[in-house]
Each structure stands twice: as structure tokens, then as C-alpha cells.
Structure 1
């Protein structure tokens, strides 16, 4: 009777109450998660979410992973309904549940990741509520922080345009600063995530543009000194709950108000809140993570070239505003840990002199060479291939400059003055880079190659000889280490030869 009623006549479950096969627990499992979810959501939208009940629901999901799709389906329906009705308190509870799932059910993440990413896209599109957009950015940060592989790399890449848009919000009030900071914070995690998995997004140039925009905006308001102070303090202490120098930036959960950046409560110091609202701080964190991407030559070029193009377009090379100099000095200090990459930065910067945006702009070339000279003062002394190649390129530019001066009969006084200033800047840069080589031998080899490949044209040949001669005068004070080493080796070989060839007394 019980088997027949379950398969054919389910209505008899309400009639045959004494049938042992039709007891409630044997007929269908109890949907305990529905009761747990009903207890979690408060009737009062102002009430805080109950962490203990959220923990029970997540523990139930951990023990019953097959129930996670049903749980997330109910959470999605509740979230979208509350967003339409602007019941933001319930939306915060939904996001608290998802954040707890991220920490409790990491192994079951494929069962709810797509659901969470869909909700985050919706939250970032809530233009009428900056509070929900900040909540979406904060939850996205926690989702990225929980990733152990690149499974969701391309899903996360789709968030970059919207995050860049949030980081470009116009305004100086507290809500806008929080929104911009939240967007930049998510971008900083995104850049770090890309670096850990050796992937550069197609929208990488947009990220750089947004970082520079926030960096320059706050620098123009004289906030750079404050940011430098905050950055120096963050080397040895936790700022807003994030260990800056660690392998990852670990976020804290905000129990009081999920609309603010995580880890900031009313009882904490105001310095942490000010840091959380400072877009320049997060732009420097993004620069820090970008510097970590510079692991090889191709990556360094891919990271630096967008910076150079923006500097060209926005005239940031000028020493008056100092944006290019400040950013490159900061990035140089970060890439010095990677060995020769600091020398590689100088080489790429010198090669940028041949770019079409700069090639015929003497003023820009002078500013770039001055910045290169400034950066060269901070690198360690080493005869690397990158720095020797940079000297070779500078000698070529010096030859062109001397050739222009030789043809100066038809040049205006202003152009002549610029060429003279360019020559002086090139000579100073060659001298500074040669000192960092520390050995005149490789530079002499460069000069010999230049003379061996001397052009046939008279004026070009003369300018080449003049450039080599000027370089020779600049490097006279540098020791010839390779020559002395080679001479000592030759002496040893000669001594051994004479000893072997001496007559033997019998």
C-alpha cells in the first residue's frame, strides 16, 4: 500500500495516516535550509544580520553540498526581489551569507561561484545606490582573495570596465571618495591576481589610465605628501586590516555596516578610515602590484609602455608637475628587488625616445633624458646588457643631435638652442650610465663598433666621429677593469709558458 501510494496515488498520503511507509521523514527529506534562511533574514531592515545563524546555514551547506544550488537559487531570488523593492538591509544579509560561504565552502566554490558573480554584476550596475556598488566591490575583493587558480580569470576580467568607471566618479564628497576607493581596491586585487597567474588583461591600459587619473588628481590637491606618509607607515603595520607587503591582501569583514570598506568601524582610529577613503592610497597599491608583474623583459615592456603613452598624451614628462618622474622613481624602487629589471627600465625608457610621439619633439626628449639621468643615480653598479644597450642608443641620439647642429645654418635660434640643450642632456645621461657600468671596456667596444659601421655620407660620418669623441671624453675617469683583468691573465699565461720552455738542468 505504501509503495503503491507513493508511486501511483500520492494523494493517499493525506488519507492513510497509519501507513508506516508514509511517515514524513521517509516520504521526503526535510528542507532544513529553508527554515535556516527564514530565521536569518530579519523582519526589521535596520537589524544586523545574525552571524550565528548564518554560520549554521553555511555549516549545513558544507555537510550537504548538493543543497548549495538550491540555497543559492533562493538567495538569488531574494536578492533581486529586494533590490527591486530597495530593501537594502536584506541585500546586505544575502551578501553576508555569500561571504561566509566563500570562507566555509572553498572546495564547493564551483557550485555557487556563477551565482555570486551574477549578483555582483547586478550590484555594480545599481547606479542609484552607491552603497550597493561599494558592497559589490568589497564582496568582489573577497571573491578574488579566495581564488587559488585561474578558473574564473575571464569571468573576473569582465568586471574591469565597470570598476574603472567607478574609479572615475566625479566629486569630492565622502560617498564618491568611498566609491572610487572601492573600485581602485578591487582593481588592485585584480592586478595582483593577474600577476599571480601570469595573465595580462586586454583592458590593462584602462587600469593604468584610471590609476594615473586618481594619482594626478590628488597630487594636484597637495595630498601626495600625506599618501607618502601613509605608504611608509604601511610597510611595517596593518592599514585597514591589509598586510601590504604580504603575499596577499587579506580583507576583514565589516559587521557593523557592509556599505563601508571592510574592517572600518566607528570605534577604530580615523586614520584607517581616511586611508580607506583615499583613492591615491589605492592607486599606489595598484602601482605596487603592477611592479610585481615585471618579472621578465616582455612583461616589463608591456607594463611600462602604456604609462609612457599616457605621459606623452597628457604632457606628464614635464618637470613642472613631476608626475612621470614621481611614478617612475616609485616603480623603480619596487622593481629593484627583481635584479636587472631596474636597468631594463632605463633601457626601455631610452628606447622610447624613438617612438613616433617623441621622435621629433625635442622638448619631450630633453625631459625624458633628464628623468633617465635621475633614475640612473639610484641603480646599482653593474655591467648589464640592458644598461650597455641604453648607452649605445644614447650615442646614436647624440650623433643625430650633432648632425642637426652641423646643419644649423638654416635652423632658427630656438631650434638651435633646443639642440644644444638636448646635446647637454644626452652627455650627462651617458656619463651617469657609464658610471653605473663601472668598466670602460664594454663602452669602448660600443665605440669601436660605431666606428666600424661608420656611414659613407660625409656629414653623417663626421657626426658619428664627433659623438664617439665626445663619449670618449666623458668616460675618461672610468677604470678599465676588463683590460687589467685581461692583462693579468696574459701575464700569467706568459709566465707559465716561459717556465715550461726553460731548459732543464740534468
Structure 2
């Protein structure tokens, strides 16, 4: 109604990518409009990212996971579409979103977030953020490698954890970050996690 008219344009564009029913998936035509807007107004990227994050956080709290998946998909698409100096601003919201999903207790969201992190790690940023830290991701992906969930989901989470760790290493090495991934504080988590899975896979094959 009247309130919607006074909402900032970027919020209206973000709202419009969500369907009435989550099972209908991302509204592709409206996603194209949001992407076009982001490309033509890159200074709005950080606000768009923050608003998507807020929506997803609210939907996680309400256990409306279908909408969370759509929000993450939108984030992925914007990340891949926008190669601007302002991408750095968006990346902060993007990583905050990934972290939020990883912190959830839903295995599906954890796996989805890992896939998004891998996509992010494959992007070469023009100006990597040298102050960015990946401690949380190293810890979380390492923990996922040791997942004790029920068997049908356990292996999926462990594989996601391994892929996540690979992505963190790739990202930190390619960006030549201040934070050295080879430091014991990180390697003491990464190496045992990988060895654990090598041993486990050997055990299951016997």
C-alpha cells in the first residue's frame, strides 16, 4: 500500500525477488531488475547486501528456510554479476550471510552456505580486503569435517566442510592476505580435520 511507495527503491527491488510461496523459487524477472539496478548503481550494493542479510536473518529466526535459500541464491547471483570496486562493500554482507547460515542448526543451510563460500573463493577481487579474517570459517568448516550427525546427512556435511576448507586456503593464498593460513592456529584445525576424514573413509571401506 501507501507505505510501500515510500520504501527506498533498492528495498522494493529486493522484496520483489521473493515469491509469495517459497517453493516457487526466486522471481527471475525481478532478479534481473535487481541485478541491473546493482550494476547501474553500485554504490547501493552494500545496502542491498545488508537488506538481504536482514531478511534472511529474520527468516532463519522464523524457520522460513525456503526464503533463506532464495536470499542466498540472490546474494550468489549479485556476487557473480557485480565486478566493481564497490564489490568489497557487498562482500562484507555476503560473508555475514554465509556465516549466519553456517551458524544455523539446519544441515541444508550449512551445506548451501558452504557452496556460496566456495563461489566467493573462486572470485578474484580487484582489491582484496586485507583486514578480512577467516577464523570463523576455518573453525566452522573444520567442525563440519567432524560432523556426528545421522549417517545420511553426516557425509554431506563432512564433504561440505572439506570443500569449505579448500576454499578458505585458496582464497587466503590467492589474495596474499595478512592473515597467513599456514599459521599453526589455522593448520592445527585444518590438518586434523582432513586426516580424520581420510582415516574415516579408509575405515568404512574395510
Tell me the TM-score normalized by structure 2: 0.84
How far has the Cα of 1:63 moved from its partner? 0.3
How far has the Cα of 1:114 moved from its partner? 1.4
Matched, 1:213 2:190: no
| Distance change in 2, residues 1:193/1:70 (3 Å) | closer
Aligned counterparts, 1:255-266, within 5 A: none
| Distance change in 2, residues 1:84/1:172 (3 Å) | closer
How far has the Cα of 1:194 moved from its partner? 3.4
Measured against aligned partners, the alpha-carbon deviations of 1:315-356 in whole angstroms (never above 9, x if no partner) come to xxxxxxxxxxxxxxxxxxxxxxxxxxxxxxxxxxxxxxxxxx
* Aligned mate of 2:164, from 171, 179, 186: 186
Where 1:221 maps in the other structure, the secondary structure is: helix
Give the match for residue 76 of structure 1.
53
How far has the Cα of 1:30 moved from its partner? 8.6
Measured against aligned partners, the alpha-carbon deviations of 1:383-430 in whole angstroms (never above 9, x if no partner) come to xxxxxxxxxxxxxxxxxxxxxxxxxxxxxxxxxxxxxxxxxxxxxxxx
Question: Which structure's relative contact order is higher, taking Cα pairs within 8 Å and 6+ residues apart?
Answer: 2
CA contact (8 A) 2:35 2:78 kept: yes
Give the match for residue 146 of structure 2.
168
CA contact (8 A) 1:141 1:186 kept: yes
How far has the Cα of 1:193 moved from its partner? 2.7
- The separation in 1 between residues aligned to 2:187 and 2:132, in whole angstroms, is 13
Aligned residues: 195
Where 2:198 maps in the other structure, the secondary structure is: helix
Aligned counterparts, 1:420-439, within 5 A: none
Matched, 1:56 2:33: yes
Measured against aligned partners, the alpha-carbon deviations of 1:113-143 in whole angstroms (never above 9, x if no partner) come to 111222222111112x111111111111111
How far has the Cα of 1:155 moved from its partner? 2.0
* Aligned mate of 2:42, from 53, 65, 87: 65
Give me the CA root mean square deviation: 2.4
How far has the Cα of 1:58 moved from its partner? 1.4
Give the match for residue 144 of structure 1.
121
- The separation in 2 between residues aligned to 1:56 and 1:214, in whole angstroms, is 44
- The separation in 2 between residues aligned to 1:51 and 1:84, in whole angstroms, is 25
Measured against aligned partners, the alpha-carbon deviations of 1:409-452 in whole angstroms (never above 9, x if no partner) come to xxxxxxxxxxxxxxxxxxxxxxxxxxxxxxxxxxxxxxxxxxxx
CA contact (8 A) 1:123 1:136 kept: yes
How far has the Cα of 1:48 moved from its partner? 1.6
- The separation in 1 between residues aligned to 2:98 and 2:55, in whole angstroms, is 14
Measured against aligned partners, the alpha-carbon deviations of 1:459-504 in whole angstroms (never above 9, x if no partner) come to xxxxxxxxxxxxxxxxxxxxxxxxxxxxxxxxxxxxxxxxxxxxxx
| Distance change in 2, residues 1:30/1:126 (3 Å) | closer
How far has the Cα of 1:170 moved from its partner? 1.8
Q: Which ranges of 4 or more aligned residues in structure 1 deviate by more than 3 Å?
A: 29-32, 147-150
Where 1:112 maps in the other structure, the secondary structure is: helix
How far has the Cα of 1:67 moved from its partner? 2.1
Give the match for residue 3 of structure 2.
none
| Distance change in 2, residues 1:194/1:71 (3 Å) | closer
How far has the Cα of 1:183 moved from its partner? 1.1
| Distance change in 2, residues 1:208/1:79 (3 Å) | same
Greater Cα radius of gyration, structure 1 or 2: 1
* Aligned mate of 1:86, from 63, 67, 71: 63
* Aligned mate of 1:38, from 8, 11, 15: 15
- Where structure 2 has 5 or more consecutive residues not aligned to the other structure, the ranges are 1-5
| Distance change in 2, residues 1:165/1:89 (3 Å) | same
How far has the Cα of 1:186 moved from its partner? 1.0
| Distance change in 2, residues 1:80/1:215 (3 Å) | same
How far has the Cα of 1:100 moved from its partner? 1.0
| Distance change in 2, residues 1:174/1:147 (3 Å) | farther
Aligned counterparts, 1:197-212, within 5 A: 197=176, 199=180, 200-201=182-183, 202-212=185-195
Give the match for residue 93 of structure 2.
115
